[in-house]
């Protein structure tokens, strides 16, 4: 069976192995500080030509940062998310 070449719509959701719940593709595209999650290709490869899609969209530098740089340890990622959330709350008050 030939894979779809276009990005799935927001109504197409899969279970994220990192978050443990359903997400749509647009979330995966910016999860990593504006870059795709390092698991995006593995997670979405069964649904469409995700690697081809991303190679057309990302610069070589962005590709390297997203897929060739080792991911941060989970604890550091969680602390950074908490700090960003605190800052957002402070900025909105």
pLDDT digits (tens, 9 = 90+) for 38-60: 999 999 999 999 999 999 999 99
58-90 pLDDT, tens per residue? 999 999 999 998 877 888 878 988 898 898 889
pLDDT at 31 over 70: yes
Indicate the pTM of the whole model. Answer: 0.72
List phi, psi (to 5°) of 34.
Answer: 90, -10
Mean pLDDT, all residues of the chain: 89
* Per-residue model confidence (pLDDT) at position 1: 54
Taking only Cα atoms into account, the Rg of the chain, rounded to an integer number of angstroms, comes to 15
Tokens 């070449």 label which residue?
5
**Structure tokens given for 16:** 């994220």
């Amino acid at each position: 069976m030939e894979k779809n070449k276009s990005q799935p719509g927001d109504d197409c959701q899969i279970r994220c192995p990192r978050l443990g719940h359903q997400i749509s593709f647009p979330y995966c595209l910016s999860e990593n500080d504006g870059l795709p999650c390092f698991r995006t290709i593995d997670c979405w490869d069964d649904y469409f030509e995700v690697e081809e899609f991303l190679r057309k969209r990302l610069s070589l530098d962005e590709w390297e940062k997203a897929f060739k740089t080792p991911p941060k340890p989970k604890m550091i990622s969680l602390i950074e998310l908490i700090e960003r959330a605190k800052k957002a709350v402070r900025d909105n008050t």
